[in-house]
Amino acid sequence: MVERGELRGGSAGFLAGATFAALTARDQYGLLWTSPLVGPPGFLKASSPTSLLIGSTPRPHDPLHGLQAGQPVGLIVMDFAARRRLRINGSLSAAGGSGLAIDVVQAYGNCPQYIHPRQAPRDEHTDDGARLIRRGDTLQPGDVDQVHSSDTFFLGTTHPEYGNDTSHRGGPAGFVHADAHALSWPDFPGNNMFNSLGNLAVDPAAALLFVDFPTGTTLQLSGAASVQWLDDERSIQFGVHDVVVGSIPALRYNA
């Protein structure tokens, strides 16, 4: 963690086979968002040990569509079937219509804990149905239902000196509670790295991404979070500022 992260050997091979990632960055107004990136195997490529090329960009309806280069970004790459994940933090060195490039500062894997295995036939990836459904500042009943049925989401946080980070959160369906204006979830014991908690201690800005994998429906939230301590346990409380409901190409994941 002290030395510069590098994409070598197993990391490069893992990236070459991935079809899903989640990216945390700021939009043109300075709001923090976490957005899905999808593509066929090979859309993520380690062009050098410290450079990552992404052959995809956030969709036109996504809050991070047209994001600006030169800002810190956090990326998590998932292989749900193998229960593997790789976190990559760095700077967005290039952003265009065909893809993105990241100068890598940190790259490290996490254990498979809380990753729910899903199978996705790779030949069924399609661009059909990607669209904006709704944007607002509160969750509607259907959004709350999606949160309560989810066993997985992604959390984006930021630090004024060390940049952005994207983490995976998993648990039994219903482990996240939501109403129209706020969400909360228990912070389960994990890798003892405390990246997200450390970031929230100095900057409450946070972004959440929920994905209904069989349909491609996405729920993206931007707001502020805080850690609440209850006896020997802790939970995270998240207040909603902006809500975007959209879709990505359905990967047709099966639980």
Q: What is the helix (H) or strand (E) element at residue 217, kind and residue range?
A: strand 217-230
Indicate whether 252 belongs to any domain: no
Q: Is residue 254 part of a domain?
A: no
| 64 in any annotated domain | yes
Tokens of 234: 């802790």
From CA 177, how far away is CA 60, in angstroms rounded?
29
Assigned domain for 253 exists: no
The answer to whether 69 touches 49, Cβ cutoff 8 Å, is no
For residue 206, being part of any structural domain is answered with yes
Q: What is the CATH number of the domain that holds 238?
A: 2.30.110.10
Low-confidence ranges of the chain (pLDDT < 70): 1-4, 119-129, 189-194, 232, 250-255
3-state secondary structure of 19: coil
How far is residue 122's CA from residue 79's CA, in Å, rounded to a whole number?
12
Does 3 reside within a domain?
no
Task: Please give the tally of structural domains in the chain.
Answer: 1
In whole angstroms, give the CA distance from residue 3 to residue 21: 24
In a domain, 1, yes or no: no
Structural domain that includes position 230: 10-247
DSSP annotation of 13: H
Q: Is residue 5 part of a domain?
A: no
Q: What is the pTM of this model?
A: 0.92
How confident is the model at residue 151, as a pLDDT?
Answer: 95
What integer pLDDT is reported at residue 190 of this predicted model? Answer: 58
Model pLDDT, residue 191 = 58
pLDDT digits (tens, 9 = 90+) for 85-143: 999 999 999 998 889 999 999 998 877 888 998 865 444 445 555 788 899 999 999 99
Structure tokens at 189: 């014991």
